[in-house]
Amino acid sequence: MSKLSEKPATAIIGSGFIGRAWAISFARAGSSVRLWDQQDGAPEKALDYISGVLDDLARNDLLNGQTPDMVLARIKPAKTLEEAVAEASHVQENTPEVLDTKIKVFQRLDAAAPPEAVLASSTSALLPSRFTEGLKGRHRCVVVHPINPPYLIPAAEVVPAPWTSAETMERTRQFLISAGHAPLVMKKELDGFIMNRMQGALLEEAFRLVADGYASVEDVDIGIRDGLALRWSFMGPFETIDLNAPGGVRDYAERYQGIYENLFPQMQRRVDWAGAVMDTIEPERRKHVPADRLQERQMWRDKRLMALAAHKKRAAKEIGN
C-alpha cells in the first residue's frame, strides 16, 4: 500500500483519445506518466492536445488547485514501449480493439514491465481472459474500462479474468480511487461488463419505441435528458427507487413491479439498430445537428460535461454526496 500513497508511476500505451484522456487523469492525481504510441510523433501530438484540455480544466477548477504546467510536466513521451513501462507500477493499454493486437501488446507488456506492475486494458469489447491467458504474469492483468473522457467521467469498470489476483484487483481499485475515479469492481468477467449492458438494455427499448411508432427520437432524448437522468446523474437507479417509496427499495419493488411486469414480454423482440428504423432516426438527428456540424457539437458536449463535472463537485461539497 505504501507504493500507492507515493502516487504510482504510470505508463500509457497508445496515445489516442482514450490514452491521452487517461494521461490527463493520472497526471492530475500526481502520478508520473510515460506516454508511448506505435506511431512516431503521436505522443508529442497528444501533449499539444492535453495542454489545451488542461487549460479548460483549470478554468473550471478541475485541477485540484494545480496549474496546467504542473500537471503537464508529469507527462513525458517514451521512445519505446519498453522504456514507457520500465518503472511503471500501473500500465494502461489503449490499442485498437483487435484481439490479435491486444495479445501481442500484452506479451510485450508482461515481458517488459516490473513484476509488481498492474497491466490494465481499456478495452470495452474484449473479455480479459481472451488476451491474457498464456501470460506468465496473467495474475496481474485486468480490464479498466472508462467512459470517455475519464478526466471528466469518474466511473471505470475493473474486470478480472478468472486468474486475476485479488491483490491486483485491490491495488487497481485503490489506485483509481486515489486518482479521483469511481471504480465498479466486477466479481467476474461478463460480455458488455456493467455499463454497456445497462446502456444496451435502455437503447434497445428506445430503438423499439421509435421503430414501433410510439415515440420520436427527440421524445426519447427528452424523457432521459429532461426526465429520468436528472436523478440518475447524482443517485443512480437503485438509490432513485429506494427513495421513491415510503419503505425504501423493497417497498418500491412490491408496490410497482406490477407496473413493469407486463412490459417485459413486449421487450423480447429485437430491433436491428442499423436497419429500417435508422431511416427514421438518422434524418431526425441530422435535422438537429447536420453531418458537417457533428464535430462542433462534440465540442459543445465536452463543454457541458466539464460544466456538469464542476457542478457535481460543488454540489457534493455544499449539499453532500
DSSP calls for 43-75: HHHHHHHHHHHHHHHHHTT-STT--HHHHHTTE
At 180, the amino acid letter reads G
Q: Which of 38, 67, 80, 266 binds a copy of itself (CB under 8 A)?
A: 266
> With respect to a copy of itself, which residue has the nearer C-beta, 136 or 297?
297
Closest among 310, 302, 279, 308 to 17, alpha carbons compared: 302
Query: Side by side, which strands form the sheet with 90-93?
Result: 75-77, 33-36, 10-13, 90-93, 118-121, 141-146, 155-160, 182-185
Q: What is the distance between the alpha carbons of residues 233 and 227, in angstroms, rounded to a whole number?
A: 11
Residue 248 in the binding site for a copy of itself (CB under 8 A): yes
Q: How far is the CB of 209 from a copy of itself (least distance, A)?
A: 6
Our CB check for a copy of itself shows the closer of 67 and 238 to be 238
The verdict on 206 binding a copy of itself (CB under 8 A) reads: yes
Q: Report the alpha-carbon distance of residue 49 to residue 36 in Å, rounded.
A: 15
Footprint on residues 49-108 left by a copy of itself (CB under 8 A): none
Q: Among 74-82, 85-93, 170-178, 284-292, which window interacts with a copy of itself (CB under 8 A)?
A: 284-292
Decide if residue 166 touches a copy of itself (CB under 8 A).
no
By C-beta, is 30 or 223 nearer to a copy of itself? 223
How many binding residues for a copy of itself (CB under 8 A)? 104
* 156 strand-pairing partners: 146, 183
Nine-digit cell at 20? Answer: 491521452
Can residue 294 be called a binding residue for a copy of itself (CB under 8 A)?
A: yes
CA atoms within 13 A on the CB side of 208: 14
Name which position in 4, 58, 103, 305 contacts a copy of itself (CB under 8 A): 305
> End-to-end CA distance of the chain, in Å?
26
At 92, is the secondary structure helix, strand, or coil?
Answer: strand
Residue 250 within binding range of a copy of itself, rule CB under 8 A: yes
* Closest distance to a copy of itself from the beta carbon of 102 (Å): 15
Q: Which of 48, 257, 276, 317 binds a copy of itself (CB under 8 A)?
A: 257
Paired strand residues for 92 = 12, 120
Rounded Cα–Cα distance for residues 174 and 179 (Å)? 9
**Residue selected from 52, 55, 201, 287 as contacting a copy of itself according to rule CB under 8 A:** 201
Q: Is 281 in the site for a copy of itself (CB under 8 A)?
A: yes
Cell of 111: 515481458
Nearer to a copy of itself, 3 or 255 (CB): 255
By CB under 8 A, residue 226 contacts a copy of itself: yes
Find the binder of a copy of itself among 155, 170, 177, 178 (CB under 8 A): 155
- DSSP strand pairing (141-146 vs 155-160): antiparallel
Of the pair 111, 307, the CB lying nearest a copy of itself is at 307
One residue of 52, 96, 162, 200 binding a copy of itself per CB under 8 A: 200
Q: Which is nearer to a copy of itself, 81 or 158 (CB)?
A: 158
